[in-house]
Each structure stands twice: as structure tokens, then as C-alpha cells.
């Protein structure tokens, strides 16, 4: 229930912010509540992924894509995530979740998400996902056009390209077996 309330507050705040390009970073502020913590008294590792969901909603809303997604009946689906935990985030500590769309290919969107507190990087993640409509993939060309973007995808950074290729190779091996 806690994250639904945070989603509601996030959406109420986002409508007052100026619209950004879908390639601009989105920055959402949060605070670690006691129920976000694990037995080590820091932000629970699983909770990072839940906050990352909120960060992606924030990005879609700020870019103007969220109303299109709702109107078209698209469902954003995360297909992979890789996160590195660097520093703990303590109870009641404020942090910013920075989300940005890095690039896309024929199948997936690739995003970077960073947890920052007091100007220090606490966790870094790459995620890839896509949009579905009634179980069918929405083309990335259609999705970026809905956000008002008509140019080619930005070049993919080398570390992200390698991660994407590794994931594709693993998927191909599992199909073959």
C-alpha cells in the first residue's frame, strides 16, 4: 500500500512540473521510511526495484508519454534489470532517483537509473523493457513518436551494449535448449 500512496503523490507532483524531452533525465525525490528497511536498517534491496518502477512512471509522465500509454492501453513491461549497490541508504534519509532513457533498438528500450543521496551515488542500474498492447509488442518507433520524438535512437554506450548482447545470448541459449 505504501508504494501506491507514493505513486499517487508522485503523480500529483508531476503534473505541476514542466514537460521534458523523453531523452532528458527525470529526477524524483523520496525519503526512506521505516517500512522500506530490512533487518540491517537500510533500504531493502528489493525496495530499490519498486522505487525504480516509480522512477520510470515519473519519466513517462514528464515526457508526456503517460497519457498516451493510458489512452492506448499500452502496458510497460520490464524484461531485465542489473543493479549495483554502492552505498547504503539509511532510514529517513532523503534520496533522488534519476531516470533517463539511454537508447533503444528494434525490440527494447534501455534506461539508466541512479539513486543519489547528498550528491553521492548509492546505486546504479540498467533496465530494459518494452510496451505491450493486448499481449502484442508495440513498436518502439510508434512509442517514441507518441512522445514527440522523431530522430534516430541515440548511440548505445559500450557497457550497455555489452549487457544487452549478453542478455540476448543467454535468451538464445535457453531457446535452443
Query: In the structure grid, which three cell numbers stand for residue 31, read together?
Result: 525519503
- 138 φ, ψ (degrees, to nearest 5): -85, 135
85 CA to centre of own chain: 16
Q: Are 39 and 82 in contact (CB under 8 A)?
A: no
Q: Are 163 and 126 in contact (CB under 8 A)?
A: yes
Which of these, 27, 25, 47, lies nearest to 38 by C-alpha position? Answer: 47
pLDDT at 177: 62
Query: In the structure grid, which three cell numbers stand for residue 118, read together?
Result: 547528498
Q: Which residue has the cell 508526456?
A: 64
Query: In the structure grid, which three cell numbers stand for residue 93, read together?
Result: 534519509
pLDDT at 1: 45
What is 2-176's CATH number? Answer: 3.10.129.10
Vertex 146 angle, CA 144 and 147, to 5°: 65
Cα torsion through 75, 79, 80, 81, rounded to 10: 10
**Domain boundary assignment for the chain:** 2-176
pLDDT at 55: 95
Ordered per-residue pLDDT tens for the chain, 177 residues: 467 888 888 888 877 777 788 899 999 999 999 999 999 999 999 999 999 999 999 999 998 888 899 999 999 999 999 999 999 999 999 999 999 999 999 999 999 999 999 999 999 999 999 999 999 999 999 999 988 888 999 999 999 988 888 876 666 566 666
Amino acid at each position: 500500500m505504501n508504494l501506491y500512496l507514493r505513486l499517487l503523490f508522485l503523480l500529483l507532483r508531476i503534473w505541476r512540473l514542466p514537460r521534458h524531452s523523453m531523452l532528458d533525465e527525470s529526477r524524483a525525490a523520496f525519503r526512506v521510511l521505516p517500512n522500506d528497511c530490512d533487518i540491517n536498517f537500510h533500504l531493502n534491496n528489493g525496495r530499490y526495484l519498486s522505487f525504480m518502477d516509480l522512477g520510470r512512471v515519473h519519466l513517462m509522465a514528464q515526457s508526456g508519454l503517460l497519457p498516451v500509454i493510458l489512452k492506448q492501453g499500452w502496458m510497460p513491461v520490464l524484461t531485465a534489470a542489473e543493479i549495483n549497490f554502492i552505498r547504503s541508504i539509511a532510514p529517513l534519509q532523503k534520496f533522488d532517483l534519476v531516470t533517463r532513457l539511454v537508447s533503444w533498438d528494434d525490440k527494447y528500450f534501455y534506461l539508466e537509473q541512479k539513486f543519489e543521496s547528498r550528491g553521492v551515488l548509492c546505486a546504479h542500474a540498467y533496465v530494459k523493457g518494452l510496451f505491450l498492447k493486448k499481449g502484442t509488442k508495440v513498436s518502439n518507433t510508434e512509442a517514441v513518436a507518441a512522445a514527440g520524438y522523431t530522430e534516430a535512437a541515440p548511440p548505445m554506450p559500450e557497457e550497455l551494449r555489452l549487457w544487452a548482447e549478453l542478455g540476448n545470448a543467454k535468451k538464445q541459449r535457453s531457446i535452443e535448449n
